[in-house]
Amino acid sequence: MSLLSPEPGLLFWMMLSFGIVLFVLAKYGFPIILKMVDTRQNYIEESLQSARKAQEELARVKETGETLLANTRKEQAEILKETIRKKDILMEKAKEEARLEADKIIVAARDQINAEKEMAIRSIRNEVSRLSVDLAERILREKLVTNKDQMEMIDRLLDEIEISKS
Amino acid sequence: MRQYSYIYGLLATFILLLSVSPLSAENSSTLPGKELNVREFILEHVADSYEWHVVGNGEKNLSVPLPVILCSKTSGWHLFSSTRFHHGETAYKGFHIAREGKYKGKIVETDASGNEMRPLDLSLTKNAASLLFASLLLVVIIMGVARSLKRNPLEAKKGFAGIMEMFVMSIHDEVIKPSVGEDYKRYAPFLLTIFFFIFTNNLLGLIPLFPGGANVTGNIAVTMVLAVATFLVVNFSGSKTYYKDILWPDVPTWLKVPIPLMPAIEIVGTLTKPFALMIRLFANIMAGHSIVLGLTTLIFITVSLGSAINASMTVLSVFFTIFIDFVELLIAYIQAYVFTLLSAVFIGQARISHASKPAVQETKPLFLKDK
């Protein structure tokens, strides 16, 4: 039957066309398609991996940041507390010092006042004694002409002084 | 989604064309006073021809002339258009198309003693032209996809290139990779070419309009070349174990020493595998074409039985033709798939070494060959 016997002409054309198709496609067609699909698959895989890595990195960074923040906050609180404490101490000290200084000043002032008072009293006394001597001189010059009078007078005066002193 | 609806649309159009066009194209055989010989009619359409009939009613025909290339033993090389024969009516340069005998439908020359003999016939027949067209189409499509992928490999393709990429990868990942085994990468381009070559030709054969419609993969010469290609690849990639199993199999020595009984059987076995591939593809596609043609002729056979029967049979015929065309669409894929799968399995078997001997066997799809 002619259907089952291959025609040499068609065999020739088939070999020619199939050969060319096979050569072209098996060399330049399918390998490129397979390679490109492979490339894309690798690329997608890599992208996924790097995305995952980036995400992990991000989480890590976030965590570090949070710890850092918490630490800083704690430190800040501590510093604040310390500062307050120091301030209190300083103020206490300052107060104490001020008090001491004030006391000193007061004592010195009192001493000076006393000294000045003493001096003033002394000068007044001198003045008074000089005046009284002058007065007495003048009075005595009038009254006490005799020695006896003079002596009586002195005694009496001395007594008076003694009495007033005692 | 849009892509799918596009494909469905294409399919629908294509089926419509399939069911309608035979009605007009085959009118030629129902000329008054001329009985339709169904067997002749089918064989004529399934077989190859020197011109490509596009449309016509027997009196007025539109055919694409194809070049006739001959090498006669007596007069040397000839190249002329097939129109010179006037559809087989006249002789040209001593050649004519035989109407009877064992060279029926082929170009013959008559030698001095009056015997018909065939010259070396390398004519670009309908099948050959369709083959070239399909090859060109395939190369353009695959190279286009490859180029589009190469231009921007990191981006998933949309549209046709995307579909083709998915198609290629589905065959690659589901047929070639598991069947060939370890070094599938070496054989993938060959097997993919086989698959798409067969698939393209099968599909083109289903389209009844001009660039398609030829019974290419239903021609034994075509399937023979494909099977021989597989045979060569399988046996050139055979491992030591493969050849040892053929020439010195693990059977009792008396089966191989005085008379090499088992080696003979094994050698025949290596030949029957591609032979089965050849016959399976040829028979399936040819049978598909025959069934479509047979169902179409129902319309013309029943003309003489009255208009009522004729009308009902026409409806039935169109319905069954559509149904068979869908089946044929499936067969177009399945046969390309089976050919590729079995080629891959044979290569996988030939690559087996003692170190790794997976139980590769002809898997289920084999049974799909039976229609």
pLDDT in tens, A69-80: 999 999 999 999
What is the per-residue pLDDT for B22?
Answer: 42
B187 in the same domain as B87: no
Are residues B228 and B360 located together in one domain of the fold? yes
> CA B347, CA B340: separation in Å to the nearest integer?
10
Separation between Cα atoms, residue B234 and residue B242, nearest integer Å: 10
Residues contacting residue B108 through CB under 8 Å, at least 6 positions apart: B95, B96, B97, B98, B116, B117, B118, B119
Question: Cβ of B135 under 8 Å from any chain A Cβ?
Answer: yes
Choose between B364 and A110: higher pLDDT. A110
User: Would you say residue A140 has pLDDT above 80?
Assistant: no
CA–CA distance from B273 to each of A64, A161, B238, B353 (Å)?
A: 68, 167, 14, 20
Q: Which residues pair with B107 in a beta bridge?
A: B97
Residue B51 belongs to some domain of the structure: no
| CA-based nearest residue in chain A for residue B187 | A26
Sign of CA dihedral B169, A18, B335, B10: positive
Residues B348 and B226 in one domain: yes
| Interface check B195 vs A, CB under 8 A | no
Report yes or no on B43 lying in a domain: no
Contacts of A17 in chain B (CB under 8 A): 128, 131-132, 135
Q: Is the pLDDT of residue A82 over 90?
A: yes
CA dihedral sign, ordered A74, A78, A81, A83: negative
Would you state the pLDDT for residue B4? Answer: 56
- B101 interfacial to chain A (CB closer than 8 Å): no
- Do residues B108 and B251 both lie within one domain? no
pLDDT in tens, B49-104: 887 877 766 667 777 888 888 888 777 788 888 877 777 777 777 787 877 777 77
Give how far A43 is from chain B: nearest CA, Å.
7
Measure in Å the smallest separation between the Cα of A17 and chain B Cα atoms.
6
Is-contact B273 B345, C-beta < 8 A? Answer: no
Strands B61-65 and B51-56: antiparallel
Residues from chain B that touch A8, judged by Cβ atoms under 8 A, are 120-122
- Tell me the H-state helices in chain A: 8-24, 30-143, 147-165
User: Does the CA dihedral B56-B61-B67-B68 come out positive or negative?
Assistant: positive
Q: Does residue B153 sit in the same domain as residue B216?
A: yes
Examine the pLDDT at A1 and tell me if it is beyond 80.
Answer: no
- Count helices and strands in chain B by DSSP H and E runs: 10, 8
CA distance B166 to B184: 18
pLDDT at A131: 87
Alpha-carbon A110 to chain mean position: 42
Task: Please name the residues in contact with A131: beta carbons below 8 A apart, sequence gap of 6 or more.
Answer: none
- Is residue B244 a part of any domain in this protein? yes
| Residues lower than pLDDT 70 in chain B | 1-35, 56-59, 354-371
Q: Are residues B83 and B157 in the same domain?
A: no
Q: A 17-36 residues with CB below 8 A of B? A: 17-18, 20-22, 24-34, 36
Does the residue B53 lie in any domain?
A: no
Chain B: closest CA distance from residue A23 (Å) = 9
* B1 interface with A at CB cutoff 8 Å: no
Coil/strand/helix, residue B69: strand
Smallest Cβ–Cβ distance between A22 and the set B128, B132, B193 belongs to B193
| Best of B225, B230, B282, B340 to mutate (most A CBs within 10 Å, chain A) | B225
As a whole number of angstroms, the distance between CA A108 and CA B12 comes to 124
Tell whether A11 is within 8 A of chain B (Cβ). yes
pTM: 0.72
Identify the DSSP state of B100.
Answer: S
Pick from A23, A25, A41 the residue to mutate for testing the B interface (most B CBs within 10 Å).
Answer: A25
Stretch A109-119: mean pLDDT: 93
Distance from CA of B180 to the nearest CA of A (A): 16
What pLDDT is attached to residue B3?
Answer: 52
What is the reported pLDDT for B1? 45
How many folded domains does chain B comprise?
2
B110 — phi, psi (to 5°)?
A: -100, 125
Tell me, yes or no, whether B337 lies in a domain: yes
Say if the Cβ atoms of A9 and B122 lie within 8 Å. Answer: yes
> Which residues make Cβ contacts (< 8 Å) with residue A22, sequence separation at least 6?
B190, B193, B197, B229
CA distance A34 to chain B (A): 8
Is residue B250 domain-resident?
yes
Strand order in the sheet with B107-110: B95-97, B107-110, B116-117
Return the DSSP state at B362: -
Does the beta-carbon distance from B196 to A25 stay under 8 Å?
A: yes
Residue B79: its pLDDT value, please? 82
- Residue at a domain's end among B123, B147, B162: B123
Distance, CA of B319 to CA of B300 (rounded, Å): 15
User: From A36, which residue of chain B is nearest by alpha-carbon distance?
Assistant: B153
User: Which range of residues forms the domain containing residue B77?
Assistant: 67-123
Rounded to whole angstroms, the Cα distance separating B91 from B12 reads 43
pLDDT at B10: 52
Residues B75 and B183 in one domain: no
B173 plus B275 within the same structural domain: yes
Question: Is B45 contained in some domain?
Answer: no
Are residue B109 and residue B142 in the same domain, yes or no? Answer: no
Distance CA A78, CA B319 (A): 92
Do B105 and B176 fall into the same domain?
no
What is the pLDDT, as a whole number, of residue B214? 84
Between CA B163 and CA B257 the distance in angstroms is 56
Of B93, B123, B153, the domain-final residue: B123
* B168 shares a domain with B266: yes
A1 near B CB under 8 A: no
Residue B52 lies inside a defined structural domain of this protein: no
Q: Both B77 and B191 in a single domain?
A: no
**B137 exposure class (CB count in 10 Å sphere: 0-12, 13-18, 19+):** middle
What tokens does B61 get? 């025909």
Residues 6+ positions from A33 with CB-CB distance below 8 Å: B142, B145, B146, B149, B165, B168
**Residues B260, B247: Cα–Cα separation, whole Å:** 9
